[in-house]
A and B are shown apart, each in its own frame.
Chain A
Amino acid sequence: MLPVLQVGPLVLPTASLLTVLGLGAALWQAERQANRQGLAGGVVYDMGMIGLLAGVAGARLVYVVRFPEAFLNKPLEIVSLNAGLFAAWGGVAAGVLAALGYGWRKGLPLWSTLDALTPSLAMMALVIALAHAASGEAFGAPANVPWAIELWGERRHPTQIYEALAAAVILWTIWPRRAAGSEWPAGVRFLMFVALTAAGRLFLEAFRGDSWLLPLGLRGDQVVAWLVLAASLWQLGKRLRPAPGQPENKP
């Protein structure tokens, strides 16, 4: 665990640093993959940047709407660089909507664009797992297995390592290879990534020590992952086996 990096007087949170570096690499890879697929790589890169900027603005806006009274004394703090003043899900929603809107306006084909973004998304999943390992977040349940790690006062499942291994396997599986990837219809790479990630989450969540719980002790993330898995497999089946008379979804 390495929660912060001290560089002279600067204290850099390792998880945030990894995330920023990962985002840079993911944007670069998205442009590269889009060019390979015959899409406008520059437009895909811009779409990613717009998504990021809208995400940051949306996260702050949602936070301000949620806690308006906190800004009454110092309204200028609405534009402060303080990393704690963001609402994560508001940012994700705003970023995704802005990116989709931009892509739609620029006439990017939805499924092929998602395929081009998939290696970047898989890279980010790995980066997030490593960020969790650095910060000690997403920690495991207490365990007596020989590979348990000492964390937060107890020996626990190293769920961050499980998460990183799963993300690495998924990244390897969906990584574009000319011979295999060129056969896949549009959208299949993206849907495979979603299905594999949901399946991994469904399995690994069982070892977590910080799950949010639903009635009957059900782990909320597992239920969400199961629903995402069902939806992605259903859509994957549709794209892999086009109905008779329908054209194939070429990449």
Chain B
Amino acid sequence: MSVKANFLLAHWNVFVAAILVAGLVWIAFSRVESDLIPSLAVAPRQGFIAPDFSLPDANGETITLSALEGQVVLVNFWASWCPPCRVEMPAIEAVYQDYRQKGVIVLAINATAQDDAQSALNFVRSNGLSFPILFDGDGSVYARYQISALPTSFFIGRDGKIGEVVVGGPMAEALLRARLETLLQEGR
């Protein structure tokens, strides 16, 4: 064994004590002054405030996300040509029916810039979807939420913070129920 290794082993306890004391000092030095981690920054990511938007629904009425604070919101980006989007919609509808009275709202944002509004409406009618369908005509909300694939879903808590982001699909009904239940319990 080298001279250095022998020296280290001969003074092992001193070496360990020095490292552990340095570790404690570092922990104390790097503690956080407030509990705002992550900060109250706005970003399309878990733990951050969901970016606000205002979009028209199928009746031409404008719905604004920030006006829904106090409710648990599921924002689902979708398109009518997207197979997993189509598959998961009935599960979202079933869950919406069970949870709407408990303070859950679903906003299904159609990626209209890369879809056809009429095809989207036809799909909504044929599947009897009752939650608001919003139309992102210029793709600005799609861009603000940095969507990289369809479908993408954002589970937003009563405080406006994103609880989870699910990229891709289709989501299982059990997953929807578990996530919404968790957010409802957190907000109590």
- A20 beta carbon closer than 8 Å to chain B: no
Q: Which residues of A contact B23 (CB under 8 A)?
A: 199, 202, 226, 229
CB closest chain-A residue, reference B180: A70
- Chain A min CB distance to B93 (Å): 13
Question: Are B16 and A74 interface neighbours, CB within 8 A?
Answer: no
* Given known A-B contacts A213-B35, A226-B27, A229-B20, A85 and B148 have beta carbons under 8 A apart: no
> CB-defined interface of B31-56 with A at 8 Å, one 1/0 digit per residue?
11111011101110101100000000
Give A124 to B152 CA distance when docked, in angstroms: 28
B interface size (C-beta, 8 A) = 43
Distance to closest chain A CB from B97 (angstroms): 11
Q: Is the Cβ of A74 less than 8 Å from the Cβ of B173?
A: yes
Query: How distant is A201 from chain B, measured CB to nearest CB, in Å?
Result: 11
- Residues on B with beta carbons closer than 8 Å to the beta carbon of A63: 178
* Contact between chains at A85 and B167 (CB < 8 Å): no
Please report whether the interface of chain A is mostly helix, strand, loop or mixed according to DSSP: mixed
Q: Tell whether, in the assembled complex, residue A11 and residue B43 are in contact, meaning their CB atoms are under 8 Å apart.
A: no
Q: Which residues of B contact A237 (CB under 8 A)?
A: 12-13, 16
Please name all residues of chain B whose beta carbon is closer than 8 Å to the beta carbon of A205 when the two chains form the complex.
Answer: 30
Q: Which residues of A contact B113 (CB under 8 A)?
A: none
Residue contacts A-B, CB under 8 angstroms, 26 given: A13-B167, A63-B178, A66-B178, A67-B178, A70-B178, A73-B173, A74-B172, A77-B174, A80-B172, A82-B172, A82-B174, A152-B38, A152-B41, A209-B39, A210-B38, A211-B37, A213-B32, A216-B31, A218-B27, A219-B31, A226-B23, A230-B16, A234-B16, A237-B16, A240-B12, A241-B12
Additional A-B contact list (18), CB under 8 Å, known A70-B177, A205-B30? A4-B167, A9-B83, A11-B168, A63-B178, A67-B177, A70-B174, A77-B174, A84-B171, A85-B174, A141-B37, A142-B39, A210-B38, A218-B27, A219-B27, A229-B20, A229-B23, A233-B16, A241-B12
